[in-house]
Amino acid sequence: MKAIIELGHSGSIFRTAAQQIADVGRGQTPDYHLSFESARSMFADLSPARLDLLDALRRAGPCSVYALAKVADRNYSNVHADVARLLELGLIERTEDAQVSVPYEAVEIRFALAHVA
């Protein structure tokens, strides 16, 4: 399963839902879709620091926020805030033993520069 991050266009939520229903019908686990209304909002939530943190966590595997801060060579409180937002966005998850991890085999960011109807 992968996470697909994209800019949402009118009606895109319905196409995504239809694709997920079709995937489940074929016995496949549907991909996780995260849509943003604008590039500005996407890049506000997915700053370079947060994307780097997501990459560091994917490479490190499940770990504590403290261990992640060490791996990423960043201040703990900043990592803690970024982890909280990435959890809210559904891009990482917390395990029963309070570790965080990336549950996806891949994360893709997609956006078109011009919308073609």
pLDDT tens per residue, range 20-34? 455 556 666 778 889
- Residues in the chain, total: 117
Query: What predicted TM-score, i.e. pTM, was given to this entire model?
Result: 0.79
Q: Given 3-state DSSP classes, what are the helix, strand and coil percentages for the chain, each rounded to the nearest 5?
A: 50, 20, 35
**What is the DSSP code (8-state) at residue 63?**
B
| 98 φ/ψ sector (left φ>0, alpha ψ -120 to 50, else beta) | left
- 105 falls within a domain: yes
Domain range for 39 is: 2-110
- 116 falls within a domain: no
Beta-strand runs (E) in the chain: 2-7, 32-36, 93-94, 100-101, 106-110
**CATH number of the domain that 79 lies in?**
1.10.10.10
pLDDT tens per residue, range 24-72? 566 667 788 898 988 899 999 999 999 999 999 999 999 999 999 999 9
